[in-house]
Chains A and B, each alone.
Chain A
């Protein structure tokens, strides 16, 4: 079933990309075309086929020791803040997280 404009609006909201009305039209056409391209995936008999999520199969989480700057990778404060559009003191600065209505949307 083809995605509707409202479906695409919902996805854009979830993806946190504020699309214009015009962009929504284009995106809707694109999404349906792209999904058509993916159909071969749904036509397989994949019974008993294990998935491969990664080309290197036996990966496990790599944990660092609980020590400060273990790999010498920690950024100095001024460097860490240097690419932020807004900062204050030792922090990144953001607008209200909760907003006027007490929710985040």
Chain B
């Protein structure tokens, strides 16, 4: 008997299309996997069993009627809980939105459904995506499927954990400073932040509007490519003014040779004091794996990357403060009862609706945008953004992709990183990518020699060359598989037998 979690998305869609099994059977297997694993993982804030079964039934009816099925037909997918899906709540893991029912469906979600995917539910996250461990969720923590005493990363920790535990095949996350790539790394799955503008942000609760980008998690690069195809299939989304009309076929040429391609490494960055030995070893293994596929490694520089954290923690909180000003307790969200004035109601609703980190980020943003302070931080941060973008442009004249760690360490134990600014520093390798807007993908490269937890290499590519970036990611995945360091498509070992039997 096959378990659902041992199958790729392409395999599931092919099985549904050929009638080997029905979409309903797949949905039931995914629900069984969730039932078996959720007690230990707690990746979900809401499991949408009714929606899933209704959607799967429609897929089966379409097949029975002889209609062409989509490329994700019957594939169980989960969505980060900052994405609207009618029929579910969208809570952003915040008390502020605890009872908020989605009144429309996000474009990214709709496009996955249009491709035939079955919606299994909404996943846990750091509150309003402020965090790197999912510990700031107002509702509960999510446990890393590789070691339930460790964090899954964040902010899209639930999405990464649900895929790593085999509860679903694909999930969507959002990435403002590394929130897809870092949890993918911590949970041993593939996670992609596409180039800003490639995927519509319509219907995704905004954090940093010039930084946010939606992207997929999968257990192999091919599944991520399939999901990317679905996300860009409709081209430009008129409901997001920053959405661009780019719709490459990410599967086409995915397995083509990368011989002669050049991947840049940044020696200075690998000397960073916070980088652990096991991550360094993982990156060395990744380099060897790429070289074995015929990739030429070249040394490049991103000289202004050292200031990326500072620039990010100016731009991100400023945009967050502006975006979260809409939560005033009037049209939606928590409303403080028995207030005499609107001002009192607003201040108390926000004080009691938001958790600590959401308050911290907004306070920082409010300060940074104040008259007199703006010129000291906000404006210079946007100038530094120009320098970081130029750094990338210069580096990509010499290489097709840059390889760097996804995170300086493997997944840490709960409570181990409790100081907020210490947590911010852990975004070091991911945030410059959001500042410049180009694409990045995190690929598992084996287990760390110290913690035994997954290690990932991060590949970053030039803007709107995400297709080539995924080709390099696929080459790395193959090289790592050949070196027997990680087998693509596999779930965390403790959950291998809980993946939902497909009768």
Contacts and interface: CB of A to CB of B under 8 A. Distances in A.
Interface of A: 3, 8, 11-20, 23, 26-27, 30-31, 33-42, 44, 46, 49-56, 59, 61-62, 71, 73, 75, 79-80, 82-86, 92, 94-100, 104-105
B362 interface: yes
Contacts of B348: 18
A86 B239 CA distance: 29
A55 B103 contact: no
B100 interface: yes
Contacts of A94: 330, 342, 345
**Among the interface residues A33, A44, A98, A105, which one has the most CB atoms of the partner chain B within 10 A?**
A44
Nearest to A13: B347
B394 interface: no
Interface stretch (B291-299, B364-372, B493-501): B364-372
B104 A73 contact: yes
Contact of A38 (B314, B362, B379): B314
Contact of B311 (A15, A19, A41): A41
A19 B313 CA distance: 22
Given A46-B384, A82-B101, A56 B197 contact: yes
A84 B309 contact: no
Contacts of B197: 55-56
Contacts of A15: 321, 350, 362-363, 366
B329 interface: yes
A68 to B, nearest CB: 17
Q: Which 5 A-B pairs have the closest CB atoms?
A: A55-B437, A85-B335, A51-B382, A83-B332, A15-B366
B335 A27 contact: no
Given A71-B238, A95-B340, A96-B340, A16 B385 contact: no
A105 B335 CA distance: 18
Interface of B: 99-101, 103-104, 196-197, 210, 238-239, 241-242, 244, 306-307, 309-311, 313-314, 321, 328-335, 339-348, 350-351, 354, 356, 359-360, 362-364, 366-367, 370, 376-377, 379-387, 389, 420-421, 424-425, 436-437, 463
B340 A17 contact: no
A27 B239 CA distance: 37
B359 A27 contact: yes
Main secondary structure of the interface of A (DSSP, over half): loop
B424 A85 contact: no
B242 A17 contact: no
A87 to B, nearest CB: 9
Contact of B313 (A23, A37, A46, A75): A37
Given A37-B421, A73-B104, A84 B332 contact: yes
A46 B345 contact: no
**Among the interface residues B354, B370, B382, which one has the most CB atoms of the partner chain A within 10 A?**
B382
Contact of B387 (A3, A49, A83, A95): A49
B437 A44 contact: no
Contacts of A26: 356
Main secondary structure of the interface of B (DSSP, over half): helix
Given A38-B313, A83-B332, A85-B329, A46 B383 contact: yes
A83 B363 contact: no
A51 B104 CA distance: 35
Nearest to B209: A54
A16 B310 contact: no
Contact of A75 (B103, B321, B342, B343): B103
B367 A31 contact: yes
Contacts of A14: 366, 370
Given A3-B367, A83-B332, 17 more contacts: A15-B366, A16-B350, A17-B354, A37-B310, A41-B310, A44-B307, A55-B463, A56-B197, A71-B238, A73-B104, A80-B103, A84-B330, A86-B335, A95-B340, A98-B341, A100-B340, A105-B343
A94 to B, nearest CB: 5
A76 B287 CA distance: 56
A85 B97 CA distance: 11
B310 to A, nearest CB: 4
Contacts of B341: 95-99, 104
B389 to A, nearest CB: 6
Given A51-B383, A52-B382, A97-B342, A41 B314 contact: yes
Contacts of B382: 51-53
Contacts of B310: 37-41
Contacts of A52: 382-383, 385-386, 389
Contacts of A79: 103
B422 to A, nearest CB: 9
B371 to A, nearest CB: 11
Nearest to B332: A83
A36 B343 CA distance: 32
9 contacts: A15-B366, A18-B347, A20-B351, A41-B377, A51-B385, A55-B463, A56-B242, A85-B329, A95-B339
